[in-house]
Amino acid sequence: MNPPLSKCVIVANGVFPSHPLPLAALRGARRVIGCDGAAEKLEAAGFEPDWIVGDLDSLSDASRARYRDRLVAVSEQASNDLAKAFRFCFEQGWHDVVIVGATGLREDHTLGNLAWLADFALALHAAGTAHGCGRIVLLTDTGIFTPALASMAFRSYAGQQVSIFSFEAGVQIYADGLKYALDGVPFTRWWQAALNESLGETFKLVFEGGPLLVFQTY
């Protein structure tokens, strides 16, 4: 699987990536946005943030001084630093976004970051840039999360592990190209469409409602 190159990579303050694909996305980015203390993880890994966004409560005094002309302080607490970084990118017109470092460490942060993906995709779609399938993905050290706002096909390979999560109860999902059939039964729990497997180079999901969050292993 090739890394999704992007005009903008947001680095959240979770576990810094070690897999070659998210690291390649970082190296290929035109802009790197660090979420608060993630700036120091970037620096330790040999990268440098173009901007640092968040409430800046986990940024050291030394980093504040070094990057003082790159700081974007957002004090409101209704959203997390990842959401603040996304909004910053969105407002600049940077609508091709890859997120890394958003999982690991505290599980509540991980769940929150994954849930925000649906809101990010909806914002991009409303702006006319995502065409219903999202121009934003989240890379971990094991795979890629893609928000899906409408029926779509996914590039894949035989044996790839695939999990599907719905943010809306009762969504009927039909699938073509997956080992275990999804025949339109309404899904009411997150786990019900998880742990599937691709049969070939592509698979397709057909649904109304949602959005969905699709995970594919590398």
Architecture of domain 8-142: 3-Layer(aba) Sandwich (3.40)
Going residue by residue through the chain, which has 218 residues, state the pLDDT in tens, using 9 for 90 and above. Answer: 665 655 899 999 999 999 999 999 999 999 999 999 999 999 999 999 999 999 998 899 999 999 999 999 998 888 999 999 999 999 998 999 999 999 999 999 999 999 999 999 999 998 875 544 448 999 999 999 999 999 999 999 999 999 999 989 999 999 999 999 998 988 889 899 999 999 999 999 999 998 999 999 99
Q: Which DSSP string corresponds to 146-203?
A: EEESS-EEEE--TT-EEEEEESSTTEEEEEESBSS--EEEEE-SGGGG-SEEB-SSEE
